[in-house]
């Protein structure tokens, strides 16, 4: 098994859901954590929960992944003892709305494309060159079943996750021979703030998404992410598609 003890793990979108669960799971491996999100207070609360001291064994970054200069400043400005990132978990992402394409809101499209595709690219562009220089590192992208199958109303969100799938494959090709690993973990339905964000705070509508079925928990996905990161260094898990037992495909869900 690949030991993560004292390795530097950088997680985007660590203030909630899958990213927060990844932070907890990686903390259990003895890794040092760089946690990024816009909501700094949430990250500070998480550092307290994990009993870690910001700056010492955990580093918190308030950054909007859509802001390329800010991303570059944050990564290039890391203190020297934090600069050698071993594992990057590209998790920050969101969906907005479930409108038919011809009725879609342009702002929703822009936000999903800016965060899910461009944000992932900005972070990757800032972090991966250092890994290449050091001859090692692991990029783990959070894709989705929505990156393999399109569902009604999913249009642009699905397109962004298809793009993440293409970027994961592209990274693996371009990084061949560098010693870096690239994995993608693609979940089905996970109960997080995802649907609340998609429906802009409408908790009744968000709750209905998971009604009558047992969704995945964000800890289930963190478990898969840590599994990828702890394989021996000659093993690259290209992709894990993780579905709830109650969900057979993007469109077929069993509800009691
Ligand atoms: P949550 O809404 O619970 O978490 C999303 C995270 O992304 C938050 O920490 C949020 O932090 C961060 N984020 C959003 N926008 C930005 C931004 N502009 N800059 C920086 N960080 C941002 O959702 P999930 O945990 O479910 O989602 C995590 C990932 O998992 C996403 O990529 C999503 O597409 C993917 N996914 C989710 C599934 C699900 O069913 N939940 C299934 C398949 C994939 P903050 O707001 O503080 O900036
Ligand atoms: C999130 C999974 O099916 O709600 O990526 O789009 S789904």
78 falls within a domain: yes
152 falls within a domain: yes
Give distance in angstroms: CA of 250 to centre of ligand 2.
7
Residues 6+ apart with CB under 8 A from 115: 65, 66, 92, 93, 94
Would you say the CB of residue 216 lies under 6 angstroms from ligand 1?
A: no
104 falls within a domain: yes
Q: What tens digit of pLDDT does each residue of 12-29 get?
A: 999 999 999 999 999 999
189 falls within a domain: yes
68 falls within a domain: yes
2 falls within a domain: no
Atom number, ligand 1, closest to the C-alpha of residue 146: 43
pLDDT for 224 equals 99
199 falls within a domain: yes
Report the Cα 112 to chain-centroid distance in Å.
14
Would you say the CB of residue 189 lies under 6 angstroms from ligand 1?
A: yes
As annotated, the active-site residues are 157
Domain of residue 14 covers 8-242
Half-sphere exposure of residue 98: CA atoms within 13 angstroms, side-chain side: 15
Would you say the CB of residue 197 lies under 6 angstroms from ligand 1?
A: yes
Residues 6+ apart with CB under 8 A from 128: 88, 137, 139, 171, 175, 180
Atom number, ligand 2, closest to the C-alpha of residue 194: 1
pLDDT for 47 equals 98
What 3-state class would DSSP assign to 201?
A: coil
Looking up residue 116, the CATH number of its domain turns out to be 3.40.50.720
Q: What tens digit of pLDDT does each residue of 97-130 get?
A: 999 999 999 999 999 999 999 999 999 999 999 9
Handedness of CA 154, 225, 23, 73 (dihedral sign): negative
Distance, CA of 233 to CA of 102 (rounded, Å)? 46
pLDDT for 201 equals 98
pLDDT for 138 equals 98
123 falls within a domain: yes
């Amino acid at each position: 098994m690949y030991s993560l003890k004292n390795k530097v793990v950088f997680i985007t979108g660590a203030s909630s859901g899958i990213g927060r669960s990844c932070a907890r799971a990686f903390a259990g491996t003895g890794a040092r954590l760089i946690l990024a999100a816009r909501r700094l207070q949430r990250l500070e609360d998480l550092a307290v929960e994990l009993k870690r001291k910001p700056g010492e064994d955990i580093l918190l970054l308030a950054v909007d992944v859509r802001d390329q200069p800010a991303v570059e400043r944050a990564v290039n400005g890391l203190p020297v003892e934090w600069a050698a990132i071993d594992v990057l978990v590209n998790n920050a992402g969101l969906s907005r709305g479930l409108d038919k394409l011809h009725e879609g809101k342009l702002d929703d499209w822009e936000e999903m494309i800016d965060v899910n595709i461009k944000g992932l690219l900005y972070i990757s562009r800032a972090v991966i060159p250092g890994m290449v220089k050091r001859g090692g590192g692991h990029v783990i992208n959070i894709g989705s079943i929505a990156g393999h199958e399109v569902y009604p109303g999913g249009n642009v969100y699905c397109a962004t996750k298809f793009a993440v799938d293409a970027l994961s494959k592209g990274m693996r090709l371009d990084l061949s021979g560098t010693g870096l690993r690239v994995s993608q973990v693609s979940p089905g339905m996970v109960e997080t703030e995802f649907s609340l964000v998609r429906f802009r705070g409408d908790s009744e509508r968000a709750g209905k998404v998971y009604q009558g079925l047992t969704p995945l928990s964000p800890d289930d996905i963190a478990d898969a992410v840590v599994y990828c990161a702890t394989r021996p260094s000659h093993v690259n898990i290209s992709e894990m598609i993780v579905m709830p037992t109650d969900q057979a495909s993007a469109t077929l869900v069993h509800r009691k």
